[in-house]
Structure 1
Amino acid sequence: MLRHKEPYLSFYRILGYCPHRIELYQQAVTHRSAVASDENGRKINNERLEFLGDAVFTLVTADILYHAFPEKREGFLSSSRSRIIQRETLNRIALEIGLNKLVRADIQITSHNNYIYGNAFEALIGAIYLDCGFKQCRRFIAERIFARYIDLEQITQTDINFKSKLVEWGQRHRVNIDWKLENSTLDSNNNPVFTVRAIAGHIEGKAATGYSKKEAQQKASQYILKQLHQDKDFLRAILYDESHKKDSVEKKEENKNGRE
Protein backbone atom coordinates (compact mmCIF):
# COMPACT_ATOMS: atom_id res chain seq x y z
CA MET A 1 0.00 0.00 0.00
CA LEU A 2 2.80 2.41 0.92
CA ARG A 3 4.69 1.60 -2.27
CA HIS A 4 1.53 2.40 -4.23
CA LYS A 5 1.23 5.79 -2.53
CA GLU A 6 4.89 6.76 -2.78
CA PRO A 7 4.79 8.10 -6.39
CA TYR A 8 1.81 10.28 -5.48
CA LEU A 9 3.56 11.60 -2.37
CA SER A 10 6.76 12.36 -4.29
CA PHE A 11 4.93 14.49 -6.82
CA TYR A 12 2.60 15.97 -4.20
CA ARG A 13 5.61 17.55 -2.47
CA ILE A 14 6.42 19.36 -5.71
CA LEU A 15 2.94 20.06 -7.04
CA GLY A 16 0.94 20.78 -3.90
CA TYR A 17 -1.82 18.46 -5.08
CA CYS A 18 -2.26 14.74 -5.83
CA PRO A 19 -2.01 13.88 -9.53
CA HIS A 20 -5.04 12.37 -11.21
CA ARG A 21 -3.10 10.59 -13.94
CA ILE A 22 0.12 9.58 -12.23
CA GLU A 23 1.43 7.91 -15.40
CA LEU A 24 1.81 11.33 -17.05
CA TYR A 25 4.08 12.57 -14.28
CA GLN A 26 6.12 9.38 -14.26
CA GLN A 27 6.59 9.73 -17.99
CA ALA A 28 7.64 13.37 -17.50
CA VAL A 29 10.67 12.29 -15.46
CA THR A 30 11.68 9.45 -17.80
CA HIS A 31 14.67 10.29 -19.99
CA ARG A 32 14.93 8.54 -23.33
CA SER A 33 17.98 6.59 -22.10
CA ALA A 34 15.86 4.80 -19.50
CA VAL A 35 14.27 1.46 -20.32
CA ALA A 36 10.59 2.16 -19.69
CA SER A 37 7.33 1.11 -21.31
CA ASP A 38 3.62 1.71 -20.84
CA GLU A 39 0.98 -0.90 -20.02
CA ASN A 40 0.85 -1.88 -23.70
CA GLY A 41 4.58 -2.51 -23.85
CA ARG A 42 5.42 0.60 -25.87
CA LYS A 43 8.61 2.46 -25.01
CA ILE A 44 8.00 5.82 -23.38
CA ASN A 45 10.07 8.90 -22.57
CA ASN A 46 9.44 12.54 -21.76
CA GLU A 47 10.29 14.16 -25.10
CA ARG A 48 6.71 14.76 -26.29
CA LEU A 49 5.71 16.14 -22.89
CA GLU A 50 8.82 18.34 -22.96
CA PHE A 51 7.73 19.74 -26.33
CA LEU A 52 4.29 20.56 -24.94
CA GLY A 53 5.57 21.92 -21.63
CA ASP A 54 8.08 24.18 -23.36
CA ALA A 55 5.25 25.90 -25.24
CA VAL A 56 3.03 26.20 -22.16
CA PHE A 57 5.80 27.52 -19.89
CA THR A 58 6.86 30.06 -22.52
CA LEU A 59 3.27 31.26 -22.90
CA VAL A 60 2.68 31.59 -19.15
CA THR A 61 6.03 33.36 -18.70
CA ALA A 62 5.10 35.85 -21.42
CA ASP A 63 1.70 36.41 -19.78
CA ILE A 64 3.23 36.99 -16.34
CA LEU A 65 5.80 39.46 -17.73
CA TYR A 66 3.16 41.28 -19.78
CA HIS A 67 1.06 41.99 -16.69
CA ALA A 68 4.00 42.55 -14.32
CA PHE A 69 5.56 45.29 -16.51
CA PRO A 70 2.73 47.25 -18.19
CA GLU A 71 5.01 50.15 -19.14
CA LYS A 72 7.81 48.12 -20.72
CA ARG A 73 8.27 47.69 -24.45
CA GLU A 74 8.44 44.47 -26.46
CA GLY A 75 12.23 44.28 -26.49
CA PHE A 76 12.43 44.32 -22.69
CA LEU A 77 9.71 41.69 -22.37
CA SER A 78 11.31 39.46 -24.99
CA SER A 79 14.80 39.56 -23.45
CA SER A 80 13.39 39.00 -19.95
CA ARG A 81 11.44 35.98 -21.17
CA SER A 82 14.57 34.57 -22.80
CA ARG A 83 16.46 34.80 -19.52
CA ILE A 84 13.71 32.96 -17.67
CA ILE A 85 13.20 30.13 -20.14
CA GLN A 86 16.91 29.59 -20.81
CA ARG A 87 18.28 26.14 -19.97
CA GLU A 88 20.34 27.29 -16.98
CA THR A 89 17.27 28.75 -15.26
CA LEU A 90 15.17 25.64 -15.89
CA ASN A 91 17.95 23.38 -14.59
CA ARG A 92 18.19 25.45 -11.41
CA ILE A 93 14.43 25.34 -10.85
CA ALA A 94 14.36 21.57 -11.35
CA LEU A 95 17.07 21.16 -8.71
CA GLU A 96 15.44 23.54 -6.24
CA ILE A 97 12.05 21.82 -6.37
CA GLY A 98 13.72 18.41 -6.05
CA LEU A 99 12.67 17.12 -9.46
CA ASN A 100 16.18 15.77 -10.07
CA LYS A 101 15.55 13.12 -7.40
CA LEU A 102 12.71 11.68 -9.48
CA VAL A 103 14.39 11.68 -12.90
CA ARG A 104 14.93 8.23 -14.39
CA ALA A 105 17.91 7.96 -16.75
CA ASP A 106 20.36 5.21 -17.66
CA ILE A 107 23.24 7.62 -18.18
CA GLN A 108 25.44 9.44 -15.71
CA ILE A 109 24.18 12.99 -15.28
CA THR A 110 27.01 15.51 -14.97
CA SER A 111 27.35 19.27 -15.21
CA HIS A 112 27.82 18.75 -18.95
CA ASN A 113 24.40 17.16 -19.50
CA ASN A 114 22.36 18.39 -16.55
CA TYR A 115 20.03 19.98 -19.10
CA ILE A 116 18.18 16.67 -18.59
CA TYR A 117 16.73 18.18 -15.41
CA GLY A 118 15.53 21.29 -17.22
CA ASN A 119 13.96 19.10 -19.89
CA ALA A 120 12.19 17.10 -17.19
CA PHE A 121 10.84 20.34 -15.70
CA GLU A 122 9.34 21.30 -19.06
CA ALA A 123 7.88 17.80 -19.37
CA LEU A 124 6.37 18.19 -15.89
CA ILE A 125 4.61 21.36 -17.07
CA GLY A 126 3.28 19.38 -20.02
CA ALA A 127 2.00 16.68 -17.67
CA ILE A 128 0.24 19.23 -15.45
CA TYR A 129 -1.39 20.80 -18.50
CA LEU A 130 -2.73 17.46 -19.73
CA ASP A 131 -3.78 16.30 -16.27
CA CYS A 132 -5.38 19.49 -14.92
CA GLY A 133 -5.78 21.96 -17.77
CA PHE A 134 -4.30 25.37 -18.49
CA LYS A 135 -5.78 27.23 -15.51
CA GLN A 136 -4.27 24.87 -12.93
CA CYS A 137 -1.00 24.77 -14.86
CA ARG A 138 -0.75 28.56 -14.87
CA ARG A 139 -1.49 28.65 -11.13
CA PHE A 140 1.30 26.15 -10.46
CA ILE A 141 3.80 28.15 -12.51
CA ALA A 142 2.80 31.49 -10.98
CA GLU A 143 2.43 30.44 -7.34
CA ARG A 144 4.91 27.58 -6.91
CA ILE A 145 7.60 28.53 -9.42
CA PHE A 146 7.66 32.29 -10.05
CA ALA A 147 6.67 33.29 -6.51
CA ARG A 148 9.34 31.06 -4.95
CA TYR A 149 12.21 30.62 -7.37
CA ILE A 150 12.21 33.47 -9.92
CA ASP A 151 13.26 36.96 -8.87
CA LEU A 152 11.75 39.10 -11.61
CA GLU A 153 13.55 42.25 -10.51
CA GLN A 154 16.94 40.54 -10.56
CA ILE A 155 16.35 38.76 -13.86
CA THR A 156 15.11 41.88 -15.66
CA GLN A 157 18.11 43.89 -14.46
CA THR A 158 20.76 41.28 -15.23
CA ASP A 159 22.64 41.62 -18.49
CA ILE A 160 23.82 38.16 -19.47
CA ASN A 161 24.80 38.91 -23.07
CA PHE A 162 28.54 38.35 -22.62
CA LYS A 163 29.09 38.30 -26.38
CA SER A 164 27.78 41.86 -26.74
CA LYS A 165 29.82 42.96 -23.73
CA LEU A 166 32.98 41.57 -25.31
CA VAL A 167 32.27 43.32 -28.61
CA GLU A 168 31.73 46.61 -26.74
CA TRP A 169 35.02 46.11 -24.89
CA GLY A 170 36.79 45.51 -28.20
CA GLN A 171 35.31 48.68 -29.69
CA ARG A 172 36.41 50.77 -26.69
CA HIS A 173 39.97 49.47 -26.86
CA ARG A 174 40.13 49.15 -30.66
CA VAL A 175 40.72 45.42 -30.43
CA ASN A 176 39.26 43.09 -33.03
CA ILE A 177 36.98 40.41 -31.54
CA ASP A 178 36.22 37.09 -33.16
CA TRP A 179 35.18 33.52 -32.29
CA LYS A 180 36.77 30.31 -33.54
CA LEU A 181 34.89 27.02 -33.80
CA GLU A 182 37.45 24.44 -32.71
CA ASN A 183 35.40 21.30 -32.73
CA SER A 184 31.93 19.86 -33.26
CA THR A 185 31.11 16.42 -31.87
CA LEU A 186 28.21 14.36 -30.53
CA ASP A 187 27.74 13.41 -26.89
CA SER A 188 26.66 9.96 -25.70
CA ASN A 189 23.03 10.82 -26.51
CA ASN A 190 23.85 12.02 -30.05
CA ASN A 191 23.38 15.67 -29.08
CA PRO A 192 25.72 18.10 -30.91
CA VAL A 193 28.43 19.68 -28.75
CA PHE A 194 30.38 22.70 -29.99
CA THR A 195 33.78 23.91 -28.74
CA VAL A 196 34.53 27.60 -29.29
CA ARG A 197 37.24 30.10 -28.30
CA ALA A 198 36.85 33.87 -28.20
CA ILE A 199 39.76 35.78 -29.75
CA ALA A 200 40.78 39.29 -28.73
CA GLY A 201 43.25 40.64 -31.24
CA HIS A 202 45.39 37.57 -31.93
CA ILE A 203 45.16 36.12 -28.42
CA GLU A 204 42.77 33.29 -27.70
CA GLY A 205 40.75 32.78 -24.54
CA LYS A 206 39.75 29.59 -22.77
CA ALA A 207 37.82 26.98 -24.75
CA ALA A 208 34.10 26.71 -24.00
CA THR A 209 31.55 24.05 -24.92
CA GLY A 210 27.82 24.30 -25.50
CA TYR A 211 24.91 22.51 -27.11
CA SER A 212 24.67 25.27 -29.71
CA LYS A 213 27.24 27.59 -31.29
CA LYS A 214 25.50 30.54 -29.65
CA GLU A 215 25.73 28.99 -26.19
CA ALA A 216 29.41 28.13 -26.68
CA GLN A 217 30.18 31.66 -27.93
CA GLN A 218 28.44 33.17 -24.90
CA LYS A 219 30.47 31.00 -22.52
CA ALA A 220 33.72 31.70 -24.38
CA SER A 221 32.98 35.43 -24.21
CA GLN A 222 32.27 35.16 -20.49
CA TYR A 223 35.57 33.33 -19.93
CA ILE A 224 37.69 35.89 -21.76
CA LEU A 225 35.90 38.85 -20.12
CA LYS A 226 36.60 37.35 -16.72
CA GLN A 227 40.25 36.85 -17.64
CA LEU A 228 40.51 40.43 -18.91
CA HIS A 229 39.27 41.74 -15.56
CA GLN A 230 41.31 39.39 -13.36
CA ASP A 231 44.57 38.86 -15.25
CA LYS A 232 46.48 42.10 -15.88
CA ASP A 233 49.22 40.31 -17.82
CA PHE A 234 46.61 38.84 -20.17
CA LEU A 235 45.09 42.29 -20.68
CA ARG A 236 48.48 43.90 -21.30
CA ALA A 237 49.39 41.19 -23.79
CA ILE A 238 46.28 41.88 -25.85
CA LEU A 239 46.67 45.65 -25.78
CA TYR A 240 50.41 45.41 -26.54
CA ASP A 241 49.74 43.03 -29.42
CA GLU A 242 47.26 45.45 -30.96
CA SER A 243 49.53 48.45 -30.39
CA HIS A 244 52.53 46.64 -31.88
CA LYS A 245 50.47 45.56 -34.89
CA LYS A 246 49.34 49.16 -35.53
CA ASP A 247 52.93 50.44 -35.23
CA SER A 248 54.06 47.86 -37.78
CA VAL A 249 51.34 48.92 -40.21
CA GLU A 250 52.26 52.59 -39.78
CA LYS A 251 55.97 51.88 -40.38
CA LYS A 252 55.16 49.92 -43.53
CA GLU A 253 53.10 52.85 -44.77
CA GLU A 254 55.95 55.26 -43.99
CA ASN A 255 58.49 53.08 -45.81
CA LYS A 256 56.14 52.74 -48.76
CA ASN A 257 55.63 56.51 -48.94
CA GLY A 258 59.37 57.10 -48.60
CA ARG A 259 60.15 54.84 -51.55
CA GLU A 260 57.57 56.64 -53.63
Structure 2
Amino acid sequence: MSIFKKIFSKSRSLEDGIFFNAVEKILGFAPQNLDNYKNAFTHRSLNRLSNEGNPINYERLEFLGDAMLSSVIAAYLFTEAPHGDEGYLTKMRSKIVSREHLNELGKDLNLIQFIESKVPVHHFGENIHGNIFESLIGAIYQDRGYAYCEQFIQKRVIVPYVDISRLEGKVISYKSLVIEWCQKEKKIFNYDIFEDNAIDGQRLFGVRLSIDDKVIAKARATSKKKAEEKASQRAYFALQEKMDKK
Protein backbone atom coordinates (compact mmCIF):
# COMPACT_ATOMS: atom_id res chain seq x y z
CA MET A 1 0.00 0.00 0.00
CA SER A 2 1.37 3.47 -0.91
CA ILE A 3 2.02 6.10 1.76
CA PHE A 4 -0.82 8.18 0.33
CA LYS A 5 -3.26 5.28 0.58
CA LYS A 6 -2.18 4.57 4.16
CA ILE A 7 -2.73 8.19 5.18
CA PHE A 8 -6.07 8.30 3.34
CA SER A 9 -7.15 5.03 4.97
CA LYS A 10 -6.25 6.28 8.44
CA SER A 11 -8.04 9.57 7.78
CA ARG A 12 -11.23 7.78 6.69
CA SER A 13 -10.96 5.44 9.66
CA LEU A 14 -10.60 8.40 12.04
CA GLU A 15 -13.59 10.19 10.49
CA ASP A 16 -15.69 7.03 10.77
CA GLY A 17 -14.66 6.64 14.40
CA ILE A 18 -15.67 10.22 15.25
CA PHE A 19 -18.97 9.82 13.39
CA PHE A 20 -19.62 6.44 15.06
CA ASN A 21 -19.10 7.91 18.54
CA ALA A 22 -21.31 10.93 17.82
CA VAL A 23 -24.14 8.76 16.44
CA GLU A 24 -23.84 6.25 19.29
CA LYS A 25 -24.23 9.09 21.81
CA ILE A 26 -27.43 10.28 20.11
CA LEU A 27 -28.91 6.80 19.66
CA GLY A 28 -28.03 5.37 23.05
CA PHE A 29 -26.75 2.18 21.40
CA ALA A 30 -23.99 1.21 18.98
CA PRO A 31 -24.69 1.27 15.23
CA GLN A 32 -24.00 -1.97 13.39
CA ASN A 33 -23.86 -0.69 9.81
CA LEU A 34 -22.53 2.86 9.78
CA ASP A 35 -23.41 3.34 6.10
CA ASN A 36 -27.12 3.47 6.99
CA TYR A 37 -26.47 6.52 9.15
CA LYS A 38 -24.20 8.17 6.59
CA ASN A 39 -27.02 7.81 4.05
CA ALA A 40 -29.41 9.42 6.55
CA PHE A 41 -27.41 12.65 6.31
CA THR A 42 -26.59 12.60 2.59
CA HIS A 43 -28.25 15.37 0.57
CA ARG A 44 -29.38 14.73 -3.00
CA SER A 45 -27.09 17.50 -4.26
CA LEU A 46 -24.14 15.09 -3.96
CA ASN A 47 -25.71 12.87 -6.66
CA ARG A 48 -24.40 9.68 -5.04
CA LEU A 49 -25.39 6.34 -6.51
CA SER A 50 -25.31 2.80 -5.19
CA ASN A 51 -23.53 -0.01 -7.04
CA GLU A 52 -26.88 -0.76 -8.66
CA GLY A 53 -27.22 2.84 -9.88
CA ASN A 54 -29.90 3.86 -7.38
CA PRO A 55 -29.74 7.33 -5.78
CA ILE A 56 -28.33 7.56 -2.26
CA ASN A 57 -29.76 10.36 -0.10
CA TYR A 58 -31.83 10.79 3.02
CA GLU A 59 -35.23 11.13 1.30
CA ARG A 60 -36.11 7.42 1.11
CA LEU A 61 -35.01 6.93 4.72
CA GLU A 62 -37.13 9.96 5.65
CA PHE A 63 -40.18 8.20 4.16
CA LEU A 64 -39.39 5.04 6.14
CA GLY A 65 -38.71 6.96 9.36
CA ASP A 66 -41.99 8.85 9.07
CA ALA A 67 -43.87 5.52 8.91
CA MET A 68 -41.93 4.07 11.87
CA LEU A 69 -42.50 7.19 13.98
CA SER A 70 -46.23 7.21 13.24
CA SER A 71 -46.46 3.51 14.07
CA VAL A 72 -44.72 3.81 17.45
CA ILE A 73 -46.68 6.93 18.45
CA ALA A 74 -49.96 5.30 17.39
CA ALA A 75 -49.24 2.23 19.53
CA TYR A 76 -48.29 4.43 22.48
CA LEU A 77 -51.48 6.52 22.25
CA PHE A 78 -53.65 3.42 21.82
CA THR A 79 -52.34 2.14 25.16
CA GLU A 80 -52.10 5.40 27.10
CA ALA A 81 -55.37 7.00 25.93
CA PRO A 82 -57.95 4.19 26.19
CA HIS A 83 -60.76 6.77 26.27
CA GLY A 84 -59.89 8.20 22.85
CA ASP A 85 -61.81 7.37 19.70
CA GLU A 86 -60.20 7.25 16.24
CA GLY A 87 -60.58 10.98 15.65
CA TYR A 88 -59.03 11.86 19.00
CA LEU A 89 -56.09 9.48 18.52
CA THR A 90 -55.44 10.81 15.01
CA LYS A 91 -55.41 14.43 16.23
CA MET A 92 -53.10 13.61 19.13
CA ARG A 93 -50.68 11.78 16.86
CA SER A 94 -50.69 14.76 14.47
CA LYS A 95 -49.74 17.06 17.34
CA ILE A 96 -46.80 14.85 18.34
CA VAL A 97 -45.45 14.36 14.81
CA SER A 98 -46.21 17.87 13.57
CA ARG A 99 -43.56 19.38 11.32
CA GLU A 100 -42.92 22.09 13.90
CA HIS A 101 -42.26 19.51 16.63
CA LEU A 102 -40.04 17.34 14.42
CA ASN A 103 -37.99 20.41 13.49
CA GLU A 104 -37.49 21.13 17.19
CA LEU A 105 -36.36 17.54 17.80
CA GLY A 106 -33.85 17.71 14.95
CA LYS A 107 -32.50 21.01 16.28
CA ASP A 108 -32.24 19.71 19.86
CA LEU A 109 -30.02 16.87 18.63
CA ASN A 110 -28.09 19.22 16.30
CA LEU A 111 -28.44 16.69 13.49
CA ILE A 112 -27.68 19.28 10.83
CA GLN A 113 -24.00 19.10 11.84
CA PHE A 114 -23.83 15.72 10.07
CA ILE A 115 -25.35 16.82 6.76
CA GLU A 116 -23.21 16.23 3.67
CA SER A 117 -24.28 18.54 0.88
CA LYS A 118 -23.10 20.78 -1.92
CA VAL A 119 -25.75 23.27 -0.80
CA PRO A 120 -24.63 25.62 2.02
CA VAL A 121 -26.43 24.83 5.29
CA HIS A 122 -27.83 28.35 5.64
CA HIS A 123 -29.75 27.83 2.37
CA PHE A 124 -31.81 25.00 3.85
CA GLY A 125 -35.31 25.77 5.12
CA GLU A 126 -36.49 24.97 8.66
CA ASN A 127 -37.91 21.60 7.64
CA ILE A 128 -34.46 20.12 7.06
CA HIS A 129 -34.22 19.52 10.83
CA GLY A 130 -37.37 17.41 10.95
CA ASN A 131 -36.58 15.66 7.67
CA ILE A 132 -33.24 14.32 8.87
CA PHE A 133 -34.72 13.40 12.24
CA GLU A 134 -37.12 11.13 10.35
CA SER A 135 -34.33 9.83 8.12
CA LEU A 136 -32.32 8.94 11.23
CA ILE A 137 -35.25 6.84 12.46
CA GLY A 138 -35.38 5.16 9.05
CA ALA A 139 -31.66 4.39 9.34
CA ILE A 140 -32.22 2.86 12.79
CA TYR A 141 -34.90 0.59 11.36
CA GLN A 142 -32.62 -0.47 8.50
CA ASP A 143 -29.75 -1.10 10.90
CA ARG A 144 -31.37 -2.60 14.00
CA GLY A 145 -35.08 -3.17 13.33
CA TYR A 146 -38.37 -2.05 14.88
CA ALA A 147 -37.52 -2.68 18.55
CA TYR A 148 -34.57 -0.28 18.41
CA CYS A 149 -36.72 2.30 16.59
CA GLU A 150 -39.25 2.07 19.40
CA GLN A 151 -36.50 2.39 22.01
CA PHE A 152 -35.09 5.52 20.35
CA ILE A 153 -38.52 7.16 19.93
CA GLN A 154 -39.40 6.41 23.55
CA LYS A 155 -36.14 8.02 24.71
CA ARG A 156 -36.02 11.02 22.39
CA VAL A 157 -39.71 11.81 21.76
CA ILE A 158 -42.18 10.23 24.16
CA VAL A 159 -40.43 10.47 27.55
CA PRO A 160 -39.18 14.08 27.28
CA TYR A 161 -41.98 15.62 25.23
CA VAL A 162 -45.27 13.72 25.27
CA ASP A 163 -47.74 14.85 27.92
CA ILE A 164 -51.22 13.81 26.81
CA SER A 165 -53.14 16.25 29.02
CA ARG A 166 -50.99 19.17 27.82
CA LEU A 167 -51.22 18.10 24.18
CA GLU A 168 -55.01 17.99 24.34
CA GLY A 169 -55.06 21.78 24.55
CA LYS A 170 -52.34 22.41 21.99
CA VAL A 171 -53.34 24.03 18.70
CA ILE A 172 -51.29 22.76 15.76
CA SER A 173 -53.04 24.77 13.06
CA TYR A 174 -54.87 28.03 13.69
CA LYS A 175 -55.90 28.08 10.05
CA SER A 176 -57.72 24.75 10.44
CA LEU A 177 -59.33 26.04 13.63
CA VAL A 178 -60.57 29.21 11.90
CA ILE A 179 -61.85 27.31 8.85
CA GLU A 180 -63.70 24.73 10.99
CA TRP A 181 -65.33 27.51 13.00
CA CYS A 182 -66.36 29.45 9.87
CA GLN A 183 -67.86 26.34 8.31
CA LYS A 184 -69.73 25.48 11.51
CA GLU A 185 -71.08 29.03 11.83
CA LYS A 186 -71.78 29.25 8.07
CA LYS A 187 -69.48 32.24 7.66
CA ILE A 188 -67.67 33.13 4.43
CA PHE A 189 -63.89 33.36 4.82
CA ASN A 190 -61.18 34.40 2.40
CA TYR A 191 -57.38 34.55 2.44
CA ASP A 192 -55.91 36.91 -0.13
CA ILE A 193 -52.36 38.09 -0.84
CA PHE A 194 -52.07 41.86 -0.62
CA GLU A 195 -48.27 41.97 -0.79
CA ASP A 196 -45.55 39.98 -2.56
CA ASN A 197 -42.18 41.70 -2.26
CA ALA A 198 -38.49 40.88 -2.07
CA ILE A 199 -36.71 42.76 0.73
CA ASP A 200 -32.94 42.39 1.08
CA GLY A 201 -33.08 39.32 -1.13
CA GLN A 202 -35.80 37.66 0.95
CA ARG A 203 -39.31 37.24 -0.40
CA LEU A 204 -42.16 38.36 1.85
CA PHE A 205 -45.86 37.64 1.47
CA GLY A 206 -48.62 39.71 3.01
CA VAL A 207 -51.89 37.84 3.62
CA ARG A 208 -55.23 39.29 4.65
CA LEU A 209 -57.96 37.16 6.28
CA SER A 210 -61.54 38.31 5.82
CA ILE A 211 -64.63 36.78 7.40
CA ASP A 212 -68.02 37.82 6.00
CA ASP A 213 -66.27 40.53 3.97
CA LYS A 214 -64.70 42.06 7.09
CA VAL A 215 -60.89 42.11 7.44
CA ILE A 216 -60.10 40.32 10.70
CA ALA A 217 -56.31 39.99 10.54
CA LYS A 218 -53.22 40.60 8.41
CA ALA A 219 -49.76 39.04 8.54
CA ARG A 220 -46.46 38.89 6.68
CA ALA A 221 -44.09 35.94 6.39
CA THR A 222 -41.54 34.31 4.07
CA SER A 223 -44.16 32.01 2.52
CA LYS A 224 -47.86 32.24 1.75
CA LYS A 225 -48.56 29.26 4.02
CA LYS A 226 -46.75 30.81 7.00
CA ALA A 227 -48.47 34.16 6.46
CA GLU A 228 -51.88 32.47 6.37
CA GLU A 229 -51.13 30.61 9.60
CA LYS A 230 -49.93 33.79 11.31
CA ALA A 231 -53.00 35.73 10.18
CA SER A 232 -55.20 32.86 11.40
CA GLN A 233 -53.53 32.93 14.81
CA ARG A 234 -54.19 36.67 15.10
CA ALA A 235 -57.79 36.13 14.02
CA TYR A 236 -58.22 33.38 16.61
CA PHE A 237 -57.08 35.64 19.44
CA ALA A 238 -59.32 38.44 18.13
CA LEU A 239 -62.33 36.10 18.03
CA GLN A 240 -61.36 33.70 20.81
CA GLU A 241 -64.37 34.41 23.01
CA LYS A 242 -66.76 33.64 20.15
CA MET A 243 -64.79 30.67 18.83
CA ASP A 244 -64.45 28.99 22.22
CA LYS A 245 -68.14 29.37 22.95
CA LYS A 246 -69.89 25.99 23.12
When normalised by structure 1's length, the TM-score is 0.70
3-state SS of 1:178 partner: strand
Q: Is the 8 A contact 2:40 2:57 kept in 1?
A: yes
Aligned length: 218
Q: Is the 8 A contact 1:197 1:207 kept in 2?
A: no
3-state SS of 1:49 partner: helix
AA aligned to 1:222 is Q
Q: Is the 8 A contact 1:53 1:126 kept in 2?
A: yes
Q: Is the 8 A contact 1:93 1:149 kept in 2?
A: no
Q: Is the 8 A contact 2:43 2:115 kept in 1?
A: yes
Structure 1 residue ranges without an equivalent (≥5): 185-193, 230-260
The corresponding residue for 2:210 is 199
Q: Does 1:166 align with 2:178?
A: yes
Among 14, 25, 49, the residue aligned to 2:61: 49
Among 148, 173, 176, the residue aligned to 1:136: 148
AA aligned to 2:133 is F
Give the distance between the partners of 2:147 and 2:184, measured in 1 at CA: 50
Give the distance between the partners of 2:86 and 2:152, measured in 1 at CA: 25
Among 203, 212, 221, the residue aligned to 2:232: 221
Q: What's the CA shift for 1:68?
A: 1.0
1:110-189 equivalences under 5 Å are 113-167=125-179, 176-180=188-192
Structure 2 residue ranges without an equivalent (≥5): 1-12, 197-204, 240-246
Give the distance between the partners of 1:168 and 1:39, measured in 2 at CA: 51
The corresponding residue for 2:70 is 58
Q: Describe the shift of the 1:25–1:71 C-alpha distance in structure 2 as closer, same or farther (beyond 3 A).
A: same
Give the distance between the partners of 2:222 and 2:214, measured in 1 at CA: 21
The corresponding residue for 2:199 is none
AA aligned to 1:73 is D
Among 111, 124, 136, the residue aligned to 1:99: 111
Q: Describe the shift of the 1:25–1:205 C-alpha distance in structure 2 as closer, same or farther (beyond 3 A).
A: same
Q: Is the 8 A contact 1:29 1:104 kept in 2?
A: yes
Give the distance between the partners of 2:99 and 2:119, measured in 1 at CA: 19
Q: Describe the shift of the 1:39–1:202 C-alpha distance in structure 2 as closer, same or farther (beyond 3 A).
A: same
| Largest Rg, 1 or 2 | 1
The corresponding residue for 2:40 is 28
Q: Describe the shift of the 1:43–1:142 C-alpha distance in structure 2 as closer, same or farther (beyond 3 A).
A: same
Q: Describe the shift of the 1:70–1:113 C-alpha distance in structure 2 as closer, same or farther (beyond 3 A).
A: same
1:69-84 equivalences under 5 Å are 69-84=81-96
Among 64, 68, 88, the residue aligned to 2:100: 88
Q: Is the 8 A contact 2:175 2:232 kept in 1?
A: yes
Q: Supply the RMSD in Å over aligned alpha carbons.
A: 3.6
Q: Is the 8 A contact 1:208 1:220 kept in 2?
A: no
Q: Is the 8 A contact 2:58 2:132 kept in 1?
A: yes
3-state SS of 1:70 partner: coil
Q: Describe the shift of the 1:111–1:224 C-alpha distance in structure 2 as closer, same or farther (beyond 3 A).
A: farther
Q: Describe the shift of the 1:5–1:56 C-alpha distance in structure 2 as closer, same or farther (beyond 3 A).
A: same
Identity score, percent = 34
